[in-house]
Chain A
Amino acid sequence: MYDFKFADIGDGIEEGKILEWKVKEGDQVKEGDTLVVVETDKVNAELPSPVSGKIAKVGKLEGQMIMVGETVVIIDDGKGGDLPKEEVKKEAPAKASQADVKATGSKATYDFKFADIGDGIEEGKILEWKVKEGDQVKEGDTLVVVETDKVNAELPSPVSGKIVKVGKKEGEMIKVGETVVLLDDGSGKYLSGVESKGEAVKEEGASVIGEIEVSSDLIESSSEVSAPKAPTRKKALATPVARNLAKKLGVDINLVPGSGANGRVMKEDIEAFANSNTKASTTKTPAVSIPKANVSRQGDVTVEAIPSIRKSIANAMTTSKSIIPDTVLMDEVVIDALVDLRKRAKPLAESKGVNLTYMAFVAKAVIIALQEFKVFNASFDHDKNEIIYKHFINLGFAVDTPAGLMVPNIKDADTLSIFELAKQIRELADRAIARKSQLAEIQNGTFTITNFGSVGVSYGTPVINYPEVGILGVGKISKKPVVVGNEIKIGNVLPLSIAVDHRIIDGADAGRFLLRVKELLANPELMLLG
């Protein structure tokens, strides 16, 4: 047996989405035959078979995400050897449960579980059911709207069939791994996750608003040997010694995957986590140990639980401020030429349905500067002491929504014109305010702009959106006396504040970056040239 694992194909790509299988279980393949097309951040990769043989098992289904190290396929190459452990273990219970189904005569159901949709989202609140028990649904029909930390997600049905049971009521919380609905798809292929023990259920994966990561317990049941367990935020089972060590090292024990019985976190797990918590720091929000809250509740006070979006903001801010030693530079730029240009371009923009804001110009100036100052479009891995330069610009911008701060980002912003930027900014902001952001829109940003000028403020010290390394604060444009030649004139002045990660960006670098942005905003025709 050959266990073909998804390998690191470089460029920091750690996961891909299975786009299309070219083979199925039972097929004979030759070495070099294309097995599957995987969509990654940057490329669609065709994975060739490393050996000739028979496909014994495919690791993931189309639409599912696959992480580096997870099994793509298990190929029977005729060399014998054992299947990975879970194969051996699963065989018996799977048979037994099939027998169970027959014996009881009950119709098997598809157990659609709430999957980990990434970005640290582990739970959601059922906002609205679009179906009820007994309804017939088609694959892709929206079943339910779930409010998560950041987005309201519509969960589409993974299969066609009849709703046998809904897992949670409106208003209830649903956690990753819990049942959304049980569906009878008539195939008799699936077993009920409610009645069965779970390990016998072969998961078909569940889909949530396009981008999916299979929940950790699915990973566990399907590839226990190879999959590094995704860190999940729950109360950890841990040994006393491990707890003491975690405390000493400042490790959040709830994020450490446990190797002991029942996933118990052992001392060596803490040591391993502390030594090699590198992946998490580049792709996910890392753990930050916060001192216990010591907050008085005496006197005339009201206690209110915060919504999940606020929790998310609190965590992001704490993370940023705990990890990043930032420094802030401020300056102002006279943008009379830009004011003039915008005035002249506005009618044209309107004719194209674009509301041309100053933000679009600032965005363009920042994008150009980011292309020239590459370290501003990077992340810093302090565990490995490596800078990860990103050859794509996903420009984030802060949106003031009724629920709280949201930071959607414009994907591949460097490929867009100022009009297109203006249009995207409006669309993304509207969706964020309506809480209809797609998950992908708030993930994987590379640099952020925040506009506090809209609330009348000139300067600020914006907080960097970790693991980004810089954020530009845009203040209120106001008319001020400015010196031109030897005369005092009235000019349109735009204040700018930039915060940078001082670990990899020095003040002088930040100054030069700001200087370039100012230059572009002062002479907007330069932006239209490059």
Chain B
Amino acid sequence: MKTYDIIVLGGGPGGYVAAIKAAQLKQKVALIEKERVGGICLNHGCIPTKAILKSAKTYDLFKHADKYGIVVDPKVVGFDFNKIIARKDDVVKKLTSGVAMLLKKNGVDVYDGYGEAISATEVKVNDEVLNTKKLIIATGGTAIVPPIPGAKEAYEKGFAVTSRELLAVKEAPKNLVIVGGGVIGVEFATIFNSLGTKVTIIEMANTIITPMDDEVIAAYTKTLSGDGVEILTNAAVKKVGTNDVTYEKDGKQSTIKTDLVLIAVGIGPNVGAVSKLGLEMKGRGIKVDSHMETSVKGVYAIGDVTGEHMLAHVASAEGTIAVENILGDSKHIDYNQIPAAIYGHPEIAMIGLTERDAKAKGLKFKVTKFPLAGNGKALADGESNGFIKVIKGEELDDIIGAHIFAYNAVDMIGEFGVAMKLEATNYEVSETIHAHPSLSEIIMEASMDKPIHI
């Protein structure tokens, strides 16, 4: 029987990173993955949507080329949906085969199959039982189909889809109803809206993208609506039919006809493969301590399967510290320093607390905002929609939260991440010389008490 130091169950961004990290630290490691390595993120989530979004944005750019003085006959601008999907597949393949290569290079034994934990030290895969000293559960999650009348039947017939199936459709639908105004919902809304689909978002809460800062939510909602996306908030879906969706808003029921329904209400943890271990649960996810260890000693869980955060970069960070803790370290993650991103046009990125949270916590803080319209690079790029908002501790001048609403917000949030990790104050950030012209100058300006260019 083969014995490993560590077996990682699941090859998503949590699992494969954990496996490589462990192998680098001279552990004998096996990774078990039922599909392609890379998980939802690389295969059905972050990466493919970004590839398609790029196509959508490029199409958009051509449609508005006159803004930059480029003359393009609108009649000749079009897209080939199959080619967009083919390009997406190509990107995904490059990345996943890259990951597979990295695993191989680092000497990780990759098992192609469904792994099931029989005990804390035994995992069965393809009728073979593997022994391990430590187990890391990284089985991820699956999109939830909520118990709305007709939803399950519609999903089985293909009228309703989750993000995974939507990425494999043959053509862009004419109409798309999106149930759920979270990150996934609004990203697909942007994509398909750009490709000419009539998109309607139905959200139960009183706003879309609820975890974001209120001002960002308002600005983003305005932008999406302005681009033609219909956003229905405080609206509950009552029934999914065969070619329509019925929802209730303000006590009134309405029905919209549509070609396709995207169900994007959240992701549920995949815990079937470890049900025999009798792990303590927290909600639907596996309960872990700050070291990522579960209620069973020697068994760790990371990423979506814990039912929290549901972010690829959190899973990777958790995978890394789980391995380090297995090897005797005592690390934990500061979940207050995790960036969150929403891709769209523009993008949203945030780290730390929203103004709402800071208020709720009773913190003493001040807020500085700086608009993209005051930045040379943004104006030159013709992308002046957006702002940066920084929430600053009154007493320590620490960075409590940073919110960027800008066309390349996600690439910029890292500066705030480094600053928070190093516990820099806003003073240090504002005193850092930023290159001109660049969008990053806005970070410097927003970190000042009194910005120069406003």
Contact B328 A82 (CB under 8 A): yes
A-B contact pairs, 27 of them (CB 8 A): A82-B328, A83-B328, A84-B328, A85-B330, A87-B328, A88-B328, A89-B328, A225-B330, A239-B422, A239-B423, A240-B423, A240-B427, A240-B428, A241-B393, A241-B398, A241-B423, A241-B424, A241-B425, A242-B423, A244-B395, A244-B425, A248-B395, A248-B396, A266-B423, A267-B396, A267-B398, A267-B423
Contact A244 B329 (CB under 8 A): no
List B residues 412-437 near A (Cβ within 8 Å).
Answer: 422-425, 427-428
| B329-348 to A contact mask, C-beta < 8 Å, 1/0 | 11000000000000000000
Instruction: List 9 other contacts, CB 8 Å, given A241-B393, A267-B396, A267-B423.
Output: A88-B327, A88-B328, A89-B328, A240-B424, A240-B425, A241-B396, A241-B424, A244-B425, A267-B398
Distance A241 CA – B392 CA, assembled complex (angstroms): 12
Contact B398 A85 (CB under 8 A): no
Distance A89 CA – B328 CA, assembled complex (angstroms): 9
Contact B398 A244 (CB under 8 A): yes
Binding site for B on A (CB under 8 A): 82-85, 87-89, 225, 239-242, 244-245, 248, 266-267
Residues of B within 8 A of A241 (CB): 393, 396-398, 423-425
Residues of B within 8 A of A248 (CB): 395-396
Chain B residue with the shortest CB-CB distance to A88: B328
Distance A88 CA – B397 CA, assembled complex (angstroms): 40
Residues of B within 8 A of A87 (CB): 328
Chain A residue with the shortest CB-CB distance to B397: A244
Distance A335 CA – B11 CA, assembled complex (angstroms): 90
Residues of B within 8 A of A266 (CB): 423
Distance A248 CA – B422 CA, assembled complex (angstroms): 19
Distance A83 CA – B329 CA, assembled complex (angstroms): 11
Binding site for A on B (CB under 8 A): 327-330, 393, 395-398, 422-425, 427-428
Distance A266 CA – B337 CA, assembled complex (angstroms): 14
Distance A360 CA – B425 CA, assembled complex (angstroms): 60
What is the predominant secondary structure among interface residues of chain B facing chain A?
A: loop
Distance A337 CA – B231 CA, assembled complex (angstroms): 102
Residues of A within 8 A of B393 (CB): 241
Which 4 residue pairs across A and B have the least CB separation, nearest first?
A: A239-B423, A85-B328, A241-B423, A244-B396
How far, in Å, is B407 (CB) from chain A's closest CB? 30
How far, in Å, is A243 (CB) from chain B's closest CB? 9
How far, in Å, is B230 (CB) from chain A's closest CB? 44
How far, in Å, is A465 (CB) from chain B's closest CB? 36
Distance A225 CA – B397 CA, assembled complex (angstroms): 33
How far, in Å, is A461 (CB) from chain B's closest CB? 38
Contact A245 B328 (CB under 8 A): no
Contact B396 A245 (CB under 8 A): yes
Distance A89 CA – B423 CA, assembled complex (angstroms): 28
Residues of B within 8 A of A89 (CB): 328
Distance A475 CA – B397 CA, assembled complex (angstroms): 54
Chain B residue with the shortest CB-CB distance to A240: B425
Distance A241 CA – B393 CA, assembled complex (angstroms): 10
Distance A245 CA – B425 CA, assembled complex (angstroms): 11
Residues of B within 8 A of A245 (CB): 396
How far, in Å, is A42 (CB) from chain B's closest CB? 34
Distance A503 CA – B398 CA, assembled complex (angstroms): 37
Contact B396 A239 (CB under 8 A): no
Distance A87 CA – B329 CA, assembled complex (angstroms): 11
Distance A85 CA – B427 CA, assembled complex (angstroms): 38
Chain A residue with the shortest CB-CB distance to B326: A82
Residues of B within 8 A of A88 (CB): 327-328
How far, in Å, is B129 (CB) from chain A's closest CB? 21
Residues of A within 8 A of B423 (CB): 239-242, 266-267
Distance A82 CA – B393 CA, assembled complex (angstroms): 42
Residues of B within 8 A of A242 (CB): 423
How far, in Å, is B121 (CB) from chain A's closest CB? 12
Distance A266 CA – B395 CA, assembled complex (angstroms): 16
Chain A residue with the shortest CB-CB distance to B399: A241
Residues of A within 8 A of B328 (CB): 82-85, 87-89
Distance A248 CA – B395 CA, assembled complex (angstroms): 8
Distance A241 CA – B396 CA, assembled complex (angstroms): 6
Residues of A within 8 A of B395 (CB): 244, 248
Given the known interface contacts A244-B398, A245-B396, A248-B395, the answer about A239 and B424 at a Cβ–Cβ threshold of 8 Å is yes
How far, in Å, is B254 (CB) from chain A's closest CB? 51
Residues of B within 8 A of A84 (CB): 328
Chain B residue with the shortest CB-CB distance to A267: B423
Residues of A within 8 A of B327 (CB): 82, 85, 88
Distance A245 CA – B396 CA, assembled complex (angstroms): 6
The residue in A82, A239, A248 that gathers the most chain B C-beta atoms within 10 A of its C-beta is A239
Residues of A within 8 A of B424 (CB): 239-241
Distance A244 CA – B396 CA, assembled complex (angstroms): 5
Distance A225 CA – B329 CA, assembled complex (angstroms): 9
Chain A residue with the shortest CB-CB distance to B26: A92
Chain B residue with the shortest CB-CB distance to A242: B423
Chain B residue with the shortest CB-CB distance to A239: B423
